[in-house]
Structure 1
Amino acid sequence: MQTGADDGAVPRYPLESVDRTLTLLRQLADQREVALADVRVHLGVGQSTAHRLLAMLVYRGFAVQDPVSRRYRPGPAFADLGRAAGATLDLVGVVRPVLVRLAAETGETVHLGELVGTDVRYLDVIESAATLRVASRSGQTRPAHATSIGKAMLATLDDDALRTAYPDGVPAARTSRTTTELDALLAELRRVRSRGHGRNRGEVEAGVCSVGVALVHPDRGLLGGLSVAAPEARWSAAVEREHVAALRHAVTELLRGIP
């Protein structure tokens, strides 16, 4: 009698599309990084079918694509499954000490967030001690395309996955500076990939500027992102460079400590 991967009997009425998706998930879990050609051969499907399957996994957070190598790795939804199974990565707990040091170094409000569909969900914050400061967004969501941290995380996806994620175009503008055209957003995310960080100049809230970077683990994939936000009155090109350098150092420190 034919059996599955865990010696369970094959269902009487198997669904081929579901089987392919689950097989692909197992491939990602086992190999940790795959190319489109690897998936096509492993599943015995055409290139367009393999690409569509991967695009949906990226859209749902089960895979991320490296913008340079174009290979795919497990995405943050794998961590969600791990939590359900008891294999937890306490991201907030791991990041919190680094977040505290980042806030002290920059003197501004710093956030930890995760990408949920096309939104950023803010998980933790250290507020600036300055009288004029950016307030906490912890526990709140914002449209990813209008935030620096969201742009940094969206930039880990390729253009095809982004078009799938925004089938009706980008949402309505939050301010007069918010990007409202998908092609313009794609162009901006290419610049984010090139420079390695996202920028926000009053796009989600007038008078607020920020920079953000994605936290991408070599094995776990996209875990989230970090940002530094400040009132526009305290922002300049030189200040932005300092904040970006601090964010990059923080990410490097975090990645060294996450198995």
Structure 2
Amino acid sequence: MAVPAAYPVESIDNAARILLMLVDNPSLRVADVSAELGVARSTAHRMLTTLQARDLLRQDAQTKGYGPGPALARLGIAVMGAVSLRDEARLLLEKLVEDTSETAHLLVLEGTETVFIEGVESQQVIRAGLRTGQRGPAHASAAGKALLAELSREELRRRYPGARLRGGTERAVSTRRALEAELQKVRETGYATNMEESEWDLCAVAAPVRNRQGVACGALSVSGPARRADAKLALLSGAVTAAATELGARLG
């Protein structure tokens, strides 16, 4: 049983209560929060949008309800132990390498960058190398686009307030409008590609890892030399999408 704070800060207490409401209800409405906290609907709305701005909540475009956001998912992973996520991913990364003969990685999204947190290297003589711990511009990578496609338009524009984008090769999208069009294609196909956009002669395919609540907490990616990877795009996309779905189911 939680022990009440001696000197509670009301705003922090209300934010905590909103997040704890997700334990019993995966989708929160303004009216629910207003009734639970005993505040006006306008106040409840401001609280929800503030938590959304920090990625702790995410609003469903159709239902308008608020559910767990990507930052809350990352926090949960950190609390439960990132090692368990990496252990679960490791088995599937090894299978991806076996099925595709290309290097496989697990990545997460931080702001407008992707971070490589685990990987298994291909045994091919000419291959993509391991990049664990490295960062790169999200808009120029397959995993980055797979995860950016999970964000709302409002959140995407908060992260990319300018019309121009920087980073990657000449093949990378260079405007926010082009990125939004690219992300729509990702939503339609279920996977994202990187055709020499982050580095020359490197191609990659990635798919988001969503837990059972539908929150993306990372992405799986397979990458290799452009000529070889481009020739087997169907194999790579099918394998990485299946692996990402399986990993998400394991996360619960």
Q: Could you state the TM-score of these two structures normalised by the residue count of structure 1?
A: 0.82
Mapped to 1, the partners of 2:124 and 2:167 lie a distance apart of: 29
Structure 1 residue 50 displacement after superposition: 5.7
Which residue of the partner structure matches residue 45 of structure 1? 41
* Distance of aligned partners of 1:242 and 1:121 in 2 relative to their CA distance in 1, 3 Å threshold: same
What residue is the counterpart of 1:241 in the other structure?
Answer: 234
Please say if 1:55 is aligned against 2:48.
no
Aligned residue pairs, count: 247
- Equivalent pairs: percent with the same residue? 33
Q: Residue 99 of structure 1: CA displacement?
A: 0.7
Task: Please give the per-residue CA displacement for 1:95-137, whole angstroms capped at 9, x wherever unaligned.
Answer: 1011101110000011101111111110111111112211111
3-state SS in 1 of match to 2:41: coil
Q: 1:166 to 1:217 in 2, by over 3 A?
A: same
The residue that corresponds to 1:27 in the other structure is 21
Compute the displacement of 1:149 (Å). Answer: 0.6
Assess if the C-alpha contact under 8 Å between 1:152 and 1:198 holds in 2: yes
Report whether the alignment pairs 1:189 with 2:189. no
* One-letter amino acid matched to 2:71: A
Does residue 254 of the first structure (1) align with residue 247 of the second (2)? yes
Contact 1:213-1:225 at 8 Å conserved across structures:
yes
Partner of 2:203: 209
Q: Does 2:112 match 1:118? A: yes
Residue type at the aligned position of 2:173: T
Task: Report matched runs for 1:100-119 at 5 Å.
Answer: 100-119=94-113
After superposition, the C-alpha distances for 1:147-171 in whole angstroms (9 at most, x for unaligned) are: 0111111111110011111224554
Is structure 2 residue 5 aligned with structure 1 residue 8? Answer: yes
Change (3 A) 1:159 1:129: same
Q: Does the aligned pair in 1 maintain the 2:122–2:128 contact within 8 Å?
A: yes
- What residue number does 2:90 align with? 96
Partner of 2:95, secondary structure, is helix
Q: What is the aligned partner in structure 1 of residue 224 from structure 2? A: 230
Residues 40 and 157 (structure 1), Cα distance of their counterparts in 2 relative to 1, 3 Å cut: farther
Distance 2:10 2:116 in 1: 37
Quote how far apart the aligned CAs of 1:181 are: 1.0
RMSD of aligned C-alpha atoms?
A: 2.8
TM-score calculated relative to the size of structure 2: 0.84
State the AA in 1 paired with 2:212.
P
Find the aligned partners of 1:72 and 1:8 in 2 and give their Cα distance. 27
Unmatched 5+ stretches in structure 1? none
Q: 1:42 to 1:209 in 2, by over 3 A?
A: farther
Query: How far does the alpha carbon of each residue in 1:47-81 deviate from its partner, in whole angstroms, 9 at most, with x for none?
Result: 863663253132xxx23455776654323433554
Taking a change above 3 Å as real, the CA distance of residues 167 and 247 of structure 1, as seen in their structure-2 partners, is same
Structure 1 residue 195: deviation in Å?
1.3
Residue 145 of structure 1 deviates from its aligned partner by: 1.0
The code of the aligned residue for 1:176 comes to E
Quote the Cα distance in structure 2 between the aligned partners of 1:195 and 1:23: 37
CA distance in 2, matches of 1:187, 1:36: 31
Counterpart of 2:94, as a letter, is V
Q: Could you say what secondary structure the match of 1:192 adopts?
A: helix
1:177 corresponds in structure 2 to 171
Cα distance between partner residues in 2 of 1:182 and 1:225: 21
